[in-house]
Amino acid sequence: MVYVDVVRESAAAGRVVLWEESARDGAQAKTLMTPGFRVELARATGRIFGLDGARHVVFAAGFSAV
Task: Quick: pLDDT tens for 6-15.
Answer: 878 888 888 8
Average pLDDT over residues 51-63: 73
**pLDDT, tens digit (0-9, with 9 covering 90-100), for 17-40:** 888 777 666 666 666 777 788 788
**How many residues appear in the chain?**
66
Tell whether the model's pLDDT for residue 48 goes beyond 80.
Answer: yes
* Rounded average pLDDT over 53-59: 76
Provide the pLDDT for residue 62. 60
Residues 6 or more apart from 5 whose CB is under 8 A from it?
A: none
pTM: 0.57
